[in-house]
Amino acid sequence: MPSDAPALRKIIHLDCDCFYAAVEMRDNPALAEIPIAIGGSVERRGVVATCNYPAREYGIHSAMPMAQALKRCPHLTVIPNDMPKYKAVAQDVFAIYRELTQRIEPLSLDEAYLDVTGVSAYQGSATLMAEAIRARVAQEVGITVSAGVAPNKFLAKIASDWHKPDGLCVVPPEAIDEFVRALPVTKLHGVGPRTAEKLAALGIETCTDVRKRTLPELVGHFGVFGKRLYELSQGIDERPVKVHRERKSVSTEQTYPQDLPTLAACHGELGALIDDLTRRYRRLDPPPGVRGAMVKIKFNDFTQTTVEHAGSVVDEAPFAALLDAGWQRGRRPVRLLGVGYRLAEPAPAQQLALF
């Protein structure tokens, strides 16, 4: 008799290695062996968007202030972002993915999930598919892609990072239990620094430690996320690959070359931010309803706060009030301001507009 059990998914997670840096090294091979970072200049308070592996040996990483990166590696070569070029390369990479399947969930320009369940190419082997994709991207685009193959998104994403750069890791169904048991909880989807600290305080460092706790215990400590922890520690993740994603917000932000010293100086920059936000919002097709406003502030000591207002937004008043409230939390010079809308009704499902 045929089984009623659902077929296991075959998921490939693909992640281009140090993508922006890889494109620059492809176009200028002389950069390949020296530390490089892509991002904004020190003069404009820029941050590292990505860096190559020689730079990572100095402890440089994404989102690090460029000034700090240069302190760690004074001979670091800094290259400005060239987003039009990176988007064009990403188009070439995703075109290769789409020849295999249309069930693609882009996460960014350089990262995506592919659901290849039921795909007959390469004898139906997700491993062979991943190998073929990696070979084609290397040959036709000139950069490397690391891949993880597993029965769900959670495991596939972890696997893609297992043998970076230019690696492939496969987690077949029969190996899930062994693979998951030794995983640090910091690898689990949704476990950030604060949750990791709370888990460590409870003596929970690996998935094996999580498994020693009952579901009611975990829910008691972590609420709804406790159930998620329980499932992930067993290697369970039922999230489907989402070809379409609902937009929940639209925002813009600006890092200033010089700190804004006072609240009044911050208010002086607010109008330009709101104008840019309005332009971004009007580009949505169709523009969805707005259910709230938000202001993000990063102070000169790199502490950060976000303040939100629930309700319709018809003028600049909510943003001004949010800025006042947020600034009071730090009362010090500001290096970054951001504004955004929370969107009410999701826009009709659209494929992510990465390009």
Write out the catalytic residue numbers.
Answer: 111
DSSP 295-330: EEEEETTS-EEEEEEES---SSHHHHHHHHHHHHHH
The beta-strand segments (E) located in the chain are 11-16, 36-39, 48-51, 77-79, 104-108, 111-115, 145-150, 168-170, 244-245, 249-260, 290-299, 304-310, 334-343, 350-351
Q: Enter the DSSP assignment of 132.
A: H
Q: Say if residues 143 and 22 touch (Cβ distance below 8 Å).
A: yes
92 is in an annotated binding site: no
What SS3 class is residue 85? Answer: helix
* Residue 341, beta-bridge partner list: 250, 293
110 is in an annotated binding site: yes
* Rounded-to-integer distance, Cα 65 and Cα 220, Å: 38
Cα atoms found within 13 Å of the Cα of residue 201, Cβ hemisphere only: 8
Q: Say if residues 108 and 2 touch (Cβ distance below 8 Å).
A: no
* Rounded-to-integer distance, Cα 312 and Cα 290, Å: 6
* 262-269, Cβ contacts within 8 angstroms, sequence gap of 24 or more: 262/333, 263/323, 263/324, 263/327, 265/334, 266/297, 266/323, 266/327, 266/334, 266/337, 267/320, 267/323, 269/337
* Rounded-to-integer distance, Cα 71 and Cα 48, Å: 13
Q: Say if residues 257 and 330 touch (Cβ distance below 8 Å).
A: no
Buried b or exposed e, range 231-252, using 16+ CB within 10 angstroms: bbbebebeeebbbeeeeeebbb
- Annotated binding-site ranges for Mg(2+): 15, 110
- Annotated binding-site ranges: 15, 110
